[in-house]
Structure 1
């Protein structure tokens, strides 16, 4: 089942996100299997929000295993993702 993954990063910054994203997107395994779409931006409270669409929760978890060392190296704080069922995605 496809899923929406929402990650709230309290105190996260655009610089922190861009540094981490650059490392992840330049990894030899990127793009990870199962990734449908990715979006990120400020959350309106001084933090950062990431919203991903994945073909399955298992695909997302496999990505997390690969990405965790990079996130730790770039100073990304530990987060608890919210995973919800995905019904539809429209990409223009």
Structure 2
């Protein structure tokens, strides 16, 4: 079942996000199986918001296991993602 993953990062910065993204997308394990789409930006309260779409919660968890050292190295604070069932995911250009 596809899922919507929302991550709110209080105090997160654009610089941290860009550093994390560069390291993740250049890793030999990227893209992870099950990854569908990604969006991120400021949350309007001085933090950062990430919204991902994955084929399953298990696929997202496999990503977290690979990416956690990257998040720690950039000083991104630990967060608890919200995972919700997606009824439909459409990706286009």
Q: Does 1:36 align with 2:63?
A: no
Q: Summarize deviations over 1:28-60 as a string: whole Å, max 9, x none.
A: 000001000000000011100000000000000
What pairs up with 1:20-35 in 2 under 5 angstroms? 20-35=20-35
| Paired positions, count | 92
Cα distance in structure 2, aligned partners of 1:44 and 1:89? 25
Q: Does 1:90 align with 2:90?
A: yes
TM-score by length of 2: 0.96
Q: Indicate the RMSD between aligned Cα atoms, in angstroms.
A: 0.7
SS of residue matched to 1:87: coil
What pairs up with 1:1-80 in 2 under 5 angstroms? 1-80=1-80
SS of residue matched to 2:88: coil
Q: CA deviation at 1:14?
A: 0.6
Unaligned runs of 5+ in 1: none
SS of residue matched to 1:49: strand
Unaligned runs of 5+ in 2: none
TM-score by length of 1: 0.97
